Amino acid sequence: MSVRNPYLPYPTRIEAVAIENGARDIKTFRLAFEDPAHAAEFRHLPGQFAELSLPGVGEAPFGIASSPTEAGYILFSVKRTGLFTGELHSLEPGAPIGVRGPMGKPFPWERMEGRNLLIIGGGFAFTTLRAAVKYVLDPANRPRFGSVLVIYGARTPDELMYKDELAAWQARDDLQVHLTVDVADKPWAHHVGVVTKVLDGLKPSSENTLAIACGPPIMIRFTLLSLANLGFSDDAVILSLEMRMKCGIGKCGRCNIGSKYVCRDGPVFTRDELKALPAEY
């Protein structure tokens, strides 16, 4: 039996496309594998990514937005920024698309066992955090984790993704969700201000807690300061990095930070792992 060619995408089909934001440049694609055997092979954990592939156009890496507990499909949220994403955004349900993956190291689920989780997301970077929250909330998994606090912010209410799910999560009592926007340009019942302002206000305890932060560089910079002030040690802070990628499997040499490849040794890193690397990202 031969090992699958790692450059050969799994054929999938777009089942549904959801527009996530007011600007209509973020869409969530629900994909289903054409071959159930491929679906069975594609075992991922939240935090991992995959390369989406359009023949004749190219490939691009995206965090997997769905949890492995969501059966029968995988989700990717994609912002339209360039050649590939532009093409992807033009596709309708029924269109074929290739997927290579799962790739990269997921969030450190073994370490997260038995801990409280502080999940901080900004803007478009919330994709793999959605996967993480869905995974934790699954009844089979929930008892394995402590308290869950989610802080998610975007520029405006329209820019928040997964609005229906956020509303459903806010109604639950097994996690706390704090949403915030920079500017409330429509009726808004929740926080106004940057994510770190909410974080500083809530002062969550760092005791037996792991923090995961995903967001634009400036949000990360200030979030790290806040987390340090709250007493989070560097190995208790988990980040997910973005880098220009091509092969996704540690061969093409493009995504390295020091001796680590973001596609293979990341994209999830703890703050102390990052501190040991050169600041070239």
Partner 1 sequence: MTEKKIPQASLDKLLARLQERGTVYAPGRGASGDVALLEMPQGEPVLQDYGNFALSPKAFFLPQTQTLLRFRDGKAEEPSPPDRPVFLVGVRPCDAAALLALDKVFLDGDPRDPYYEHFRAKATIIALACTQPMASCFCTSVGGGPGDGAGADVLAVGLDTGLLLRAQTTRGEELLASLADLLAEPTAQDSQEADERIRAAEGQLAPARADDSARRLREAYDAPLWAAAGQKCLGCGTCSFLCPTCHCFDITDEVRNGAGRRVRTWDCCAYPLFTLHASGHNPRPTPKERWRQRLMHKFRYAVENHGRFFCVGCGRCIRNCPVSLDLRTALKEIS
**Which residue in 36, 86, 93, 278 binds partner 1 (CB under 8 A)?**
278
**Which residue in 98, 108, 146, 193 binds partner 1 (CB under 8 A)?**
98
Residue 121 CB, shortest distance to partner 1, in Å, is 18
**Which residue in 75, 133, 247, 274 binds partner 1 (CB under 8 A)?**
247
Q: Is 256 in the site for partner 1 (CB under 8 A)?
A: yes
Sign of the CA dihedral 151, 156, 162, 168? Answer: positive
Q: Is 3 in the site for partner 1 (CB under 8 A)?
A: yes
**Which residue in 151, 257, 263, 274 binds partner 1 (CB under 8 A)?**
257
Closer to partner 1 by Cβ: residue 84 or 135 = 84
Q: Is 114 in the site for partner 1 (CB under 8 A)?
A: no
3-state helix, strand and coil shares in percent for the chain, rounded to the nearest 5:
25, 30, 40
Number of residues that bind partner 1 (CB under 8 A): 38
CA pair distance 267, 213, nearest whole angstrom:
12
DSSP state of 267: B
CB 144 within 8 A of CB 113: yes
> How are strands ordered across the β-sheet holding 148-154?
191-192, 176-181, 148-154, 116-122, 209-214, 237-240, 268-270
- Binding part of the chain for partner 1, among 3-11, 198-206, 231-239, 267-275 by CB under 8 A, reads 3-11
